[in-house]
């Protein structure tokens, strides 16, 4: 039996979604973030040394990292939700599978960090300096990078309904978290209708809804 070590409001939600799409039985072990630090609890280190989510166990096998988990589960099911090898769609699939964490999440995480710097409690004489630095980095580097990536993704979906082509694939599952995060925290809105339509379509999928029921509250879903 596959066990998903599921941290609330985390990337592990998309692992639950993929398992529902594949129709695989699984169980969930729930973990809650520390209310002060928002970090995963130390109990997760007993599953994987880094103590982060997502991580799954499948018998004696432990797999961490979203992309690796997705590839493991898709391979386990004989390549379901993956375009055929050697096709143009497969190249797109592999690209977006890596883009989600390799490119898309980096500036989003930077925005989260600098937003926290700007709002963190600190001595009054330090606050203007810290907030000024944060605002300048966001304005000159982080937000332009996010905007460029969102424009790129919007243009890509102008020519096809899903990231890897005409069919839904596990690449769409992988892309869900950065785009949900962008919609919640980085200005993704109706000015990019293709991306917003894509989000609406994934959120309406029965497997997505079932994963929400099993996983519990998930603020990034946006509904």
Determine the pLDDT at residue 1: 93
Q: What is the pLDDT of residues 19-74, one digit of tens each?
A: 999 999 999 999 988 777 777 888 889 999 998 889 999 999 999 999 999 999 99
Does 212 fall in a domain? no
Determine the pLDDT at residue 134: 74
Determine the pLDDT at residue 129: 58
Q: Are residues 61 and 96 in the same domain?
A: no
Task: Quote the pTM value.
Answer: 0.90
Band of the pLDDT at 9, cuts 50, 70, 90? Answer: confident
Question: Which residue would you say has higher pLDDT here, 123 or 140?
Answer: 140
Does 82 fall in a domain? no
Domain boundary among 76, 98, 131: 76
- Cα separation, 77 vs 154, in Å, equals 31
CATH of the domain at 189: 1.20.1050.10
Reply yes or no on whether the pLDDT at 126 is more than 60: no
Reply yes or no on whether the pLDDT at 211 is more than 90: yes
Q: Are residues 22 and 124 in the same domain?
A: no
**Contact at 8 Å (CB) between 7 and 40?**
yes
Q: What is the pLDDT of residues 129-188, one digit of tens each?
A: 567 777 787 777 889 999 999 999 999 999 999 999 999 999 999 999 999 999 998 889
Determine the pLDDT at residue 94: 97
Q: How does DSSP assign the chain, residue by residue? A: -EEEEEETTSTHHHHHHHHHHHT--EEEEEE---TTT-PPPGGGGGTSTT--S-EEEETTEEEESHHHHHHHHHHHTTTTTSPPTTSHHHHHHHHHHHHIIIIIHHHHHHHHHHHHHHHS---TTTHHHHHHHHHHHIIIIIHHHHHHHHHHHHHHHTS-SBTTBSS--HHHHHHHHHHHHHHHHS---TTSHHHHHHHHHHHTSHHHHHHHHHH---GGG--
Does 138 fall in a domain? yes
- Cα separation, 199 vs 176, in Å, equals 8
Q: Are residues 48 and 104 in the same domain?
A: no
Band of the pLDDT at 222, cuts 50, 70, 90? Answer: low
């Amino acid at each position: 039996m596959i066990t998903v070590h599921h941290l609330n409001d985390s990337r592990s939600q998309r692992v639950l979604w993929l398992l529902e799409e594949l129709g695989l039985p699984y169980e969930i072990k729930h973990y809650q973030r520390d209310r002060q630090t928002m970090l995963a609890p130390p109990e997760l280190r007993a599953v994987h040394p880094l103590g982060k989510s997502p991580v799954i166990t499948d018998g004696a096998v432990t797999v961490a990292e979203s992309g690796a988990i997705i590839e493991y589960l898709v391979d386990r099911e004989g390549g379901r939700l993956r375009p055929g090898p050697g096709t143009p769609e497969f190249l797109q699939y592999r690209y977006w599978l890596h883009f989600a964490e390799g490119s898309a999440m980096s500036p989003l995480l930077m925005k989260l960090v600098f937003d926290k710097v700007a709002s963190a409690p600190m001595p009054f004489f330090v606050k203007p300096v810290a907030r000024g630095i944060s605002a300048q980095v966001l304005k000159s580097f982080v937000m332009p990078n996010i905007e460029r990536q969102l424009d790129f993704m919007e243009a890509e979906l102008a020519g096809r309904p899903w990231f890897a082509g005409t069919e839904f694939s596990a690449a769409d599952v992988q892309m869900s978290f950065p785009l949900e995060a962008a919609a919640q925290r980085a200005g993704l809105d109706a000015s990019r209708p293709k991306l917003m339509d894509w989000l609406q379509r994934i959120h309406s999928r029965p497997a997505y809804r079932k994963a929400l029921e099993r996983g519990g509250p998930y603020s990034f879903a946006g509904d």
